[in-house]
Structure 1
Amino acid sequence: MSGSGTDKTKSGVTLAGPVVILVEPQLGENIGMAARAMGNFGLTRLRIVNPRDGWPNVHARRAASGADHILDHVELYDTVEQAVADCTLLFATTARAHDQAKPVVAPEAAATEMTTAIAGGATVGILFGRERYGLQNEEVALANRITTFPVNPGFASLNLAQAVLLVGYEWFKLATSGALPFGMPERSERASQHQMEAFFDNLVRELDKVEFLRPPEKRETMLVNLRNIFTRMDPTKQDMHTLHGVVMAIAEGRKGPAKGGVLDGEQATRLRALLAEHGQGALPSESGTVRGIARLLRRNPTDAERILWQALTTDRRFAGQFKRQTPVGRHIPDFVSFVVRVAIELINPEEADVIVSDRATRKAWLEAREYRVVSMAVADVERDLATELDRLEASLPGLP
């Protein structure tokens, strides 16, 4: 597939359409964009009268965005009279009243007349004027009809490609009966009443567990409102499977630390001991065991880590300063700020000697590189977070 909307695997629509005639266009880019607009709506015949910058034009080719099949067959003329000589029905597009006694029609009406005339074998042309001042009176006089657009009268100027696109759109819509190029993908089979009822029973059962349907006197009304939400959806069987899975995931929670749960202090301590034993100064990217344990710790914060991380990201004193479980050289402190060169270490109760030793090594390494290491006891964070945050702020006089 090429571009944001062109699918080269699909064949284009081939229709007998009107001839687009550009009168003395000034910029190659405008010719190219007009050709692109033509290609959007199945118009292929382009005539150009005396282009200012000559022809062919590399700028037109670039601006056409792939509408080469139109530019490759451009017909050049020296005068408007020559360009329209074979037209049996001619429309002049203009934003100005030229005070000429001839019908003025909107693009919809013009498209209807074009379609009828082309079906009868007529050659239909549409004149588009210069970018700067449009069509002259004598050029409009050659046309059978004037076509103008329902635009803001105080700002009626359209660029060349816009004018071509509006006329092309109305013609193509009529010629193809307004058929859209694609529709909504086919969905799975519509959910049965039995499946709907099973899902709803499950939903109500879980809502009762959390006492959502109260007070008792409003229970029936709430159930009716809930049921109507899902019946209005006109759900498919797949929709019901998905919704059922959502309800159960919320009700039961995630299963196990590998899916991003919350570790308790004992679990975290064991994992940190394993990381200390296997790491020996290695980066998480250098060992499968180290990488796996580090990933578990990162994806499964303890309650204290989660509480402190939320505070560090929302408290205006620290927001945007800290990162969690981020490598600093060969070490991974619990939290680190590269901006103010501070590392925070959470201390779990009854940590193994190997963890204490590993933390001491990490602290010495960080301090040797001018990082300040702040230790916080997990129990203190969980019991009195505000005091710990005040203590952290007091120890960081250089915090922005």
Structure 2
Amino acid sequence: MSGSGTDKTKSGHELTGPVVILVEPQLGENIGMAARAMGNFGLTRLRIVNPRDGWPNVHARRAASGADHILDQAVLFDTVEQAVADCTLLFATTARAHDQAKPVVAPDAAAREIVAQIGSGTGEVGILFGRERYGLQNEEVALANRIVTFPVNPGFASLNLAQAVLLMGYEWFKLSTAGALPFAMPERSEPASQHQMQAFMDNLVRELDKVEFLRPAEKRETMLVNLRNIFTRMDPTKQDMHTLHGVVMAIAEGRKGPAKGGVLDGEQATRLRALLAEHGQGATPSESGTVRGLARLLRRNPTDAERMLWQALTKDRRFAGQFKRQTPVGRHIPDFVSFVQRLAIELENPGETEAIVSDRATRQAWLEARDYKVVHMCVADVERDLEVELARLDASLREVR
């Protein structure tokens, strides 16, 4: 659920805890926040000694954030002696040394004594909290059996009232409930088996080989070990494996159907390709982001000819599932590529600049040096008679087989 962490559909712990005694609190807001801290940790019994601004107090109720049941049951006293009269074990919280010969304990040690005393049923346990401005007076500390102080920064030791109540409540509640957390990670799916892990790795490696990721050859085995360790450290579930399978296949297969985005006319595409080619020549590594950005713009905004050809490549049974559009091969990005068939398609627009022609020639030489066949198609031919161009492409594929 969103918003506050308080879920009123759940029942709280029914525990018998110590009495919280606030000595002459000055602000109603502090009383309310102390009550809220008590509610957080199952403390329900509040005693208030001579509150400065009177009682009941509307500011206390507003600050309690729903801990009204604690405020409704609060008991008022005129003096500290009256408030602690029935206590057989009394703790006084203070940040100052009062030079009194009595044990000084930390909150966790105090919590152990409180749990033991309440569990034995031998008497009431109370915790004194002093005024916001100057805490407890010497004669009030003298009433206590133990002094509780917190392990805080000695140079800045003062806590506000609600913080002090919260720390004591936390230690007592944690001990009383054996530190049980209110919720845990849900077990949505059973752990993935080694068989599932191996199937995923086989699928991942197959796709990585198609794009020549696992290079150079001498580092292949080390890269595979590192990849497997990434996933085994996750302790994945069956559902995790299904999701990862889907991610790999979505990346491998690309977009379904025509590429989405705008439509560039041939002149616009030519200008963009010229810019990409010119920027790519001699670009520094720091400028590679710009090159990738231009390539993404081309990919997202295909020309009419590119749309026509892409639709045919994804729907025609001779080519379906074999080609990707505007996908990197090394540092080059041909218009269409089949990693399986090691064949690239280059679309030539009319009026291309020298930079585009030079860039395409460099890309073709790089691809052919790595055993890719490059097929050139003129945009005008694709738009005039697509079937003829597809037949020519089919013939080229048969040659590389």
TM-score bin (small chain): 0.5 to 0.7
Measured in 2, the distance between the counterparts of 1:256 and 1:84 equals 79
Give, as a single letter, the amino acid of the residue that structure 1 aligns with 2:63. A
Number of the residue aligned with 1:365: none
Alpha-carbon distance change, 382 to 239 in structure 1, aligned in 2, over 3 angstroms = farther
Determine the structure 2 residue equivalent to 1:58: 58
Q: Is the 8 A contact 1:34 1:161 kept in 2?
A: yes
Q: Quick one: distance in 2 between partners of 1:381 and 1:81?
A: 97
Q: CA deviation at 1:255?
A: 1.0
- Residue 195 of structure 1, CA deviation: 1.4
> What is the CA distance between 1:22 and its match in structure 2?
0.1
Equivalent in the alignment of 1:176? 177
What CA deviation, in whole Å up to 9, does each residue of 1:155-200 have, x standing for no partner? Answer: 0010000000000000000000000000001120211222111111
Give the deviation of 1:227 after TM superposition: 1.1
User: What does residue 112 of structure 1 align with?
Assistant: 112
TM superposition shift of 1:256: 2.7
Instruction: Give distance in 1, aligned partners of 2:270 and 2:21.
Output: 72
| Aligned partners of 1:19 and 1:126 also within 8 Å | yes
In structure 2, the partner of 1:144 is 145
- Map 1:1-400 onto structure 2 (within 5 A): 3-121=3-121, 122-257=123-258, 261-262=260-261, 265=264
Question: SS at the partner of 2:182?
Answer: coil
Tell whether the 8 Å contact from 2:270 to 2:351 is kept in structure 1 after alignment: no
Residues 197 and 265 of structure 1: is their aligned pair in 2 closer, same or farther, counting only changes over 3 Å?
same
* CA separation of 1:253 and 1:97: change in aligned 2, threshold 3 A: same
Separation of aligned partners in 2, 1:302 and 1:33: 68
Query: What root-mean-square deviation, in Å, do the aligned CA atoms of Structure 1 and Structure 2 show?
Result: 3.1
Greater displacement, 211-220 / 171-180 = 211-220
Q: Please, which runs of 5 or more residues in structure 2 have no aligned partner?
A: 277-300, 306-348, 357-401
1:261 deviates by 2.7
Q: Is the 8 A contact 1:108 1:171 kept in 2?
A: yes
* Structure 1 residues 384 and 125: alpha-carbon distance in aligned structure 2, compared to 1, 3 A threshold: farther
Once the two structures are TM-superposed, the CA of residue 115 in structure 1 deviates from its matched residue by 0.3
Stretches of structure 1 that go unaligned for 5 or more consecutive residues are 270-300, 309-345, 351-377, 386-400
TM-score by length of 2: 0.66
Q: Deviations over 1:303-361 (max 9, x none)?
A: 969x99xxxxxxxxxxxxxxxxxxxxxxxxxxxxxxxxxxxxx9x899xxxxxxxxxxx
Tell me: CA distance 1:212–1:382, structure 2 relative to 1, closer, same or farther (3 Å): farther
Deviations along 1:242-288, whole A, 9 cap, x unmatched?
A: 1011111111112135xx73565479x9xxxxxxxxxxxxxxxxxxx
1:341 maps to which residue? none
Change in CA separation of 1:133 and 1:149 when aligned onto 2, cut-off 3 Å: same
Distance 2:158 2:45 in 1: 25
Taking structure 1 as reference, are residues 243 and 98 closer, same or farther at Cα in structure 2, changes over 3 Å only? same
Contact kept, 8 Å, 1:264 with 1:303, in 2: the verdict is no
8 Å CA contact retained: 2:49, 2:76: yes
Percent sequence identity over aligned pairs? 82
Secondary structure class of the residue paired with 2:87: coil
For residues 201 and 9 of structure 2, the distance between their equivalents in structure 1, rounded to whole angstroms, comes to 44
For the residue of structure 2 that corresponds to 1:5, the secondary structure is coil
The change in CA–CA distance for 1:31 and 1:381 in structure 2 (over 3 A counts) is farther
Shift of 1:88: 0.4
Residues 1:383 and 1:135: Cα distance change in structure 2 (over 3 Å): farther
Amino acid at match of 2:174: K
Structure 2 distance, partners of 1:138, 1:381, is 96
**Measured at CA, do residues 3 and 252 of structure 1 come closer, stay the same or move farther in structure 2, by a change above 3 Å?**
closer
Is 1:264–1:302's contact at 8 Å kept on the other side of the alignment? no
Shift of 1:147: 0.1
Give the superposition deviation at 1:23.
0.2
Hey, what's the Cα distance between the residues in 2 that align with 1:191 and 1:302? Answer: 50
- SS of the residue aligned with 1:154? helix
Distance 1:100 1:264, change over 3 A: same
Distance 1:136 1:74 in 2: 23
Is the Cα–Cα contact under 8 Å of residues 128 and 160 in structure 1 kept in the other structure?
Answer: yes
TM-score normalised according to structure 1 size: 0.66
The SS at the match of 2:155 is coil
The Cα shift of 1:4 comes to 1.4
Letter in 1 for 2:70: I
Quick one: distance in 1 between partners of 2:193 and 2:32? Answer: 54
Runs of 4+ in 1 over 2 A off after TM superposition: 260-267, 301-305, 378-385
